[in-house]
């Protein structure tokens, strides 16, 4: 069984993808309503919530070397070349 990403790992991954935590949140998850809606969370607070509730992270995030992309659209993979 895979371990969830730590806050530090998640932060690095999003930096590689040049994305902010709010840009990869899945807003239709119950945890989003319970943990995020109506709260003015900082990026660090969002990262902590996402690490605790990995279902909130959009996937796939693909890493190649020092680059990463949110590859929900297959064309985004070309950015890794």
Please give the CATH topology (third level) of the domain spanning 7-80.
Answer: Glutaredoxin (3.40.30)
Report the C-alpha gap between 79 and 81 in whole angstroms: 6
- 72 has pLDDT over 90: no
Q: What is the largest CA-CA distance in the chain?
A: 39
Q: Is residue 61 packed enough to be buried (19+ CB in 10 Å), middle (13-18) or exposed (0-12)?
A: buried
- 1 has pLDDT over 60: no
- Going from the C-alpha of 10 to that of each of 18, 40, 50, 80, 81, the distances in angstroms are 12, 20, 8, 19, 22
Region class of 52: left (phi > 0), else alpha (psi between -120 and 50), else beta: alpha
Per domain, the residue ranges of the chain are 7-80
pLDDT at 2: 64
Report the C-alpha gap between 17 and 30 in whole angstroms: 25
pLDDT at 4: 76
């Amino acid at each position: 069984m895979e371990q969830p990403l730590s806050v530090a790992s998640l932060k690095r991954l999003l930096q590689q993808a040049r994305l902010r935590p709010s840009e990869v949140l899945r807003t239709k998850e119950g945890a989003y309503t319970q943990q995020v809606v109506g709260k003015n969370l900082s990026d660090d607070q969002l990262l902590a919530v996402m690490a605790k509730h990995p279902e909130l992270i959009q996937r796939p995030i693909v890493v190649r070397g020092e680059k990463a992309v949110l590859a929900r659209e297959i064309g985004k993979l070309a950015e890794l070349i």
